[in-house]
Amino acid sequence: MQATEVINKIFALYHERGHRQYGEDVTELQHALQCAAFAARNNEAPHVVAACLLHDYGHLVHDLGEDIAERGLDARHEELGANRLAVWFPAEIVEPIRLHVAAKRYLCWKVPNYFDGLSEASQRSLQLQGGVMTDEEAAVFEQNPHGEAAARLRRYDDAGKIKDLETPELESYRLLLEQFVHSPA
């Protein structure tokens, strides 16, 4: 599959399901665009901007509904999205996506009052996702070569929940994403 076709497929899912909300005041698409825009404004490397845009792709893939956390379900969207995207993208994009939930758990362990700054929905989902990391889990996370990028992605994830914030359109990220697409093995 050519890079253009891959991105067409990904963007089609955002257009089809990006209107969903997941306990926040923004849609999945608005959230993705905000996260990517914040990363770009902070001069993050292109692979981090791409990871920010795609980090919740797993929410678009599952059909469990928009209120899964309220129903006590964890779709493991980080794994679902990372596994789907790994077919087309390198580890430098996929692994921060896979780790962005672990990064929330880590930052709750590492940063005083981090938990208090999480949205209500993010606090609720944290419990379903394993809660605050233990010292042992945090030590393992800190050794992961993608952990730092995942923690930065997580900060943009936390910030990207502003109702009616204007951002660049999804299509503006096409060339950025296409440069990373590789052929499946």
d(CA 151, CA 157): 10
CB 89 within 8 A of CB 69: no
What confidence score (pLDDT) does residue 23 get? 65
User: Which region, left, alpha or beta, applies to residue 100 given φ > 0 means left and ψ of -120 to 50 means alpha?
Assistant: alpha
* Angle between helices 28-41 and 3-17 in degrees, nearest 10: 130
Q: In the predicted model, is pLDDT for residue 36 greater than 90?
A: yes
d(CA 150, CA 35): 13
pLDDT digits (tens, 9 = 90+) for 131-152: 999 999 999 999 999 999 999 9
Mean pLDDT calculated for residue range 52-68 = 76
What confidence score (pLDDT) does residue 74 get? 47
* Domains identified in the chain and CATH numbers: 3-178 (1.10.3210.10)
Angle among Cα 173, 179, 183 to the nearest 5 degrees reads 120
Residues 70-99 as b or e (16 or more Cβ within 10 Å = b): eeeeebebbebbbebbbebbeebbbbbbbb
Mean pLDDT calculated for residue range 165-175 = 97
d(CA 121, CA 71): 12
Mean pLDDT calculated for residue range 5-15 = 95
Q: In the predicted model, is pLDDT for residue 185 greater than 70?
A: no
d(CA 72, CA 86): 28
What confidence score (pLDDT) does residue 1 get? 76
What confidence score (pLDDT) does residue 51 get? 98
d(CA 23, CA 120): 8
CB 25 within 8 A of CB 161: yes
What confidence score (pLDDT) does residue 70 get? 53
When pLDDT is cut at 50, 70 and 90, the band that residue 73 belongs to is very low
High-pLDDT (> 90) share of the chain, %? 69
Between 145 and 61, residue with greater pLDDT: 145
What confidence score (pLDDT) does residue 130 get? 87
High-pLDDT (> 70) share of the chain, %? 89
pLDDT digits (tens, 9 = 90+) for 93-129: 999 999 999 999 999 999 989 999 988 888 888 888 8
Mean pLDDT of the chain: 89
What confidence score (pLDDT) does residue 61 get? 82
d(CA 68, CA 152): 25
